[in-house]
Amino acid sequence: MRPLPEKKGTSFGRREFLTTLSMGAWAAAIPRPAISAEPAPAGPAGPRIGNPIAVSTYSFWRFLDNAKLKIETCIRSAAEMGFDAVEILEMQMDSTDRGYLQRLKREAFLNGLSLCGLSTHQTFVSPDPEKRQANIAKTIASIELAYQLGIPTMRVNTGRWGTSKDFDELMRNRGIEPPLPGFTDEDAFPWVIECLEKCLPAAERCGVVLGLENHWGLGLTPEGVLRIVNAVNSPWLRVTLDTGNFLEDPYDRLALLAPQAAFVQAKTYHGGGIWYTLDLDYPRIAAILRPHQYRGFISLEFEGSEDYRTAIPKSLAVLREAFTF
């Protein structure tokens, strides 16, 4: 029973006492829910539905003459279009100065975007040890750059022989390039493996997962990529899976790499491809990745001739639909 209230300047009468007593009895008679030791059920929850969709700054440039945009502009455009994150093409950056890097981080933060990947260029396919060492140093510098930007993964390449006159010729040859005279691809695999192994201590120290892309050179086939990744055998080297770099029979080849994917670059070709056009089935690609519990980023690499202002939003819609499940 609750304490009797005090009344100033008068005595507490029999009627007030009985009224108080009856109210207490009434309150005690109201059924109350049992108190459970179990926590209250949570609201709607569960696994995230789908993959976060990013866009590479390359999509805004595509190496077109007089079309290079500043990274800051790409970040703001990505936010306006509705992306979740931005992948930075290192070649597109204006500087590697600390102040510039912090401004990029600030720009991404204020626009509600993650900086999710750094895409770099190097070549370890060279018989010259000094050239390979220079590319190791360049790659380690890029790893440090990713660390300063807060980026958790970095695309790396095997590199290629360089016997094509230019990239246009390489594309005319479907990415196939003859070795230097006196050498074979078999000579180059140990070079690439050794170079990547020398980069791994920096990757581990900086917390940056290297993703070997199915690109040109020794990365032209899934077997070539996996031969290198399996030989290195490190949690700091996985695969950056590019959906547009297998020009024939892409789906079976993508399936071979899917278990090792740490990052996915998804190409689209609105307006017709600059070098080639692929009609990629993204629901099918999503279905290839799903059994391997791939929850990471899907980063758009638009590589078509249409104006990026219309083509990139259309590409985002395609990827959102395919990778939401």
Q: What is the pLDDT of residues 109-168, one digit of tens each?
A: 999 999 999 999 999 999 999 999 999 999 999 999 999 999 999 999 999 999 998 988
CATH number of the 53-322 domain: 3.20.20.150
Amino acid residing at 151: I
Return d(Cα 39, Cα 240) in angstroms, integer. 42
Residues 230, 45: Cα–Cα separation, whole Å: 37
The CA dihedral of 167, 168, 169, 171, to the nearest 10 degrees, is 90
Q: Structure pTM? A: 0.85
- The first and second tokens of residue 92, run together, are 């597109």
pLDDT given for residue 4 in this prediction: 38
**pLDDT for residue 177:** 93
Mean pLDDT (whole number) for 289-298: 96
Average pLDDT, the chain: 89
Mean pLDDT value across residues 212-221: 95
**Distance between CA 324 and CA 95 in Å, rounded?**
36
Calpha distance 113→75 (Å, rounded): 8
Question: What are residue 53's phi and psi, to 5 degrees?
Answer: -110, 125
Residue 98 neighbours by CB distance under 10 Å: 9
What is the reported pLDDT for 49? 81
Give 325's pLDDT tier (boundaries 50, 70, 90).
Answer: confident
Asked which of 15-19, 109-113, 246-250, 272-276 is least confident by mean pLDDT, the reply is 15-19
What pLDDT is attached to residue 45? 67
What is the rounded distance in angstroms from the CA atom of residue 101 to the CA atom of residue 169?
35
Q: Which residues contact 70 (CB under 8 A, 6 or more apart)?
A: 94
Alpha carbons 164 and 150: distance in angstroms, whole number = 36
